[in-house]
Chain A
Amino acid sequence: MAVRVHLPGPLRAPFGGASSVVVEGGDVRAALDQLVARAPALAAQLFDGGGALRSYVNVYVNDEDVRSLGGLSAPLKDGDTISLVPSIAGGADDDKLAAAQAAMRRAGKVELPLSHEEVRRYSRHLILPEVGLAGQVKLKQARVLLIGVGGLGSPLALYLAAAGVGTLGLVDADVVDETNLQRQVIHGTKDVGRPKLDSAEARIRDINPNVTVEKHETMLTSANALDLFARYDVVADGTDNFPTRYLVNDACVLTGKPNVYGSIFRFEGQASVFALGDGPCYRCLYPEPPPPGMVPSCAEGGVLGILPGIVGLLQANEVVKLVLGVGTPLAGRLLLFDALAMSFRELKLRKDPNCPVCGPNPTVTELIDYEAFCGFEPAPADARTITARELKARLDRGEEVALLDVREPQEFDLCRLPGSTLVPLGELPSKLSELDSTKELVVHCRTGKRSLQAIELLRQAGFSPARLVNLEGGIDAWARDVDPSMPRY
């Protein structure tokens, strides 16, 4: 059978630009095989490795899709025409925020114009074609929720305020502490002792009085997260612990809000955008939290003060891009930053089809107990404790007490209890034999948390609970109540 094959423009080159060619064939496959025999380059464009038609190529016989005629074995008659038809598709990015804003406009809500003061203030944005007036109005209408106003939250809040994000929600229940000042640059020395929300609000007002600050002076919990997230467009995670990180992730997935994630550890940082559209979430990357105590917090492990500045600004950058709908979001990618090597690496992230929260068959459909999920069991309630003053009195009486310090060597260099032995918590399991299990052991760290973990570990290793005593409030309490000449850190 002689049939005429009509070619789309991109496939005409091998045939000298002809829009159609005549081939012989009893069925569609035979006809296409002959076509490919004359132009082998077409094979890869038309068929996949298994010889099946590629999904973005349609084959029509006369006016019928070959798929509805039984596929490539469909018979041909003399004079039939075959058309190779490229699939032509595309569309704007799937941007929920833009869609929501469009819905607002369709509902007749008038966009707020910018004042003369705002036009001047944002002039360097307004002259960027990617921002412009429309983009700046998007920023002004945006509602961004920051979880934590600490190391990551500080640069986030400072720069998002300066950029003109209209509403910043801040969630934090802490007060400013001197140890925060090394990296939490939104707070100043004069703010020590003040609630972080008040300190941050004052600084934001000074930077940009156009920003509305919504203060949520509370811990983020499973009870309040969904209501809170529902009122914002984008959530930026500046938390420093795993239970809250999983809580933020799950609440973002359940409310459909993008989760702009950042985390820091000593000299290394991570950033990504989770739960954006069909993209992966934090659980796709880390289905299970690490065992408690394995990854120390900043308070336990230390952190380079610059690091949260860098990572927090990566987050701020992603927030602004999401609001504007420009660029390529850091979704489906995990950015790893190493401050010592000064290197950025990028890992490709895939959505986990078995993800318990964002997969097709989720098992987590409401918020759960994240402390329990992360294995944070309440400290042994029956652990014996001693206050710093009691310990001092016993030592002064010359009682035989062994002092076990489970902090890190660099902490030991700053201050120590006289006569104490240093075994960092991480090394404890391998150094059990060096400890005297016959003596009473007063275990201490900086504030009394790591020492409780150490006691639990010692108990499991067979040490008698009766001989293990936790120094309440750690060496910090000692410096406060017993020895004011000792530095507190």
Chain B
Amino acid sequence: MSALRIPAALAEAIRAHGRETYPHECCGFLLGAPGEVREIARASNAREDSPQNRYLIPPIEFVRVQRDADARGLDVIGFYHSHPDHPARPSAFDREQAWPGYAYLIAAVEGGLPGELRGFRFDAPDEPFAEIELDPLAEEV
């Protein structure tokens, strides 16, 4: 299991985003360096037809976030989204849509209350997914 370091405050911010958009899915970017989340950036959910169980990050937001990250020496290292009233586990659709090389964090939101936050990678096509150990960093980092 590979590890991803994420400050506790950022993990909390992802959960809070999920609570705000409940019962719809939230989504956003993970910015930092390989193995370490340093910032998050919220994205809008372009799936207006089925926002309670689908998300799509508008590509133009990706363009802008990537450009801004490049300018500041950060990488887009992955993405997060929420699963309203579903466990924090990749769905079949998550697996189909996933890109190798990125970390995917999923936040469960159960009945409007933030639940578990888990991380996954989808690097090997023959394996459904690999869980990433989330290594919470203390507040001062």
Contacts and interface: CB of A to CB of B under 8 A. Distances in A.
Nearest to A7: B66
Contacts of B85: 92, 98-99, 101-102, 105
Contact of A92 (B25, B27, B57, B62): B25
Given A9-B76, A92-B91, A328-B92, A106 B23 contact: yes
Contact of A65 (B59, B91, B92, B97): B59
Given A8-B66, A20-B70, A105-B111, A90 B94 contact: yes
B98 A10 contact: no
A8 B76 contact: yes
Contacts of B92: 93, 328
Contacts of B54: 89-91
B70 A19 contact: yes
A101 B111 CA distance: 9
Contacts of A65: 59-60
Contacts of A117: none
B36 interface: no
B132 interface: no
A86 B62 CA distance: 8
Contact of A95 (B27, B76, B86, B110): B86
A86 B29 CA distance: 13
Contacts of A92: 25, 53, 83-86, 91
A58 interface: yes
A131 to B, nearest CB: 11
B108 to A, nearest CB: 9
Contacts of B84: 92, 102
Contacts of B25: 91-92
A381 interface: no
Interface in A1-21: 6, 8-10, 19-20
Contact of A91 (B53, B102, B112): B53
A85 B47 contact: no
A326 interface: yes
Contacts of B56: 87-89
Nearest to A324: B87
Interface residues of A, number: 35
Nearest to B116: A129
A394 B52 CA distance: 75
B117 to A, nearest CB: 14
Interface bin, chain B? 35 or more
A102 B91 CA distance: 18
Nearest to A327: B89
A8 B76 CA distance: 8
Interface in B35-72: 47, 50, 52-57, 59-60, 62-64, 66-67, 70
Contacts of B62: 8, 58, 83, 85-86, 88
A326 B56 CA distance: 23
A105 B100 CA distance: 36
Interface string A307-336: 000000000000000000110100000000
B40 to A, nearest CB: 14
B60 A63 contact: yes
A94 interface: yes
B101 A9 contact: yes
Interface string A62-83: 0101000000000000000001
A86 B56 CA distance: 11
B15 interface: no
A56 interface: yes
B27 to A, nearest CB: 7
16 contacts: A6-B67, A8-B76, A19-B70, A60-B59, A86-B99, A89-B54, A90-B91, A90-B104, A91-B47, A91-B81, A95-B53, A99-B52, A105-B85, A105-B112, A134-B110, A325-B87
Interface of B: 23, 25, 27, 47, 50, 52-57, 59-60, 62-64, 66-67, 70, 75-77, 79, 81, 83-87, 90-94, 97-102, 104, 110-112
Interface of A: 6, 8-10, 19-20, 56, 58, 60, 63, 65, 83, 85-95, 98-99, 101-102, 105-106, 111, 130, 134, 325-326, 328
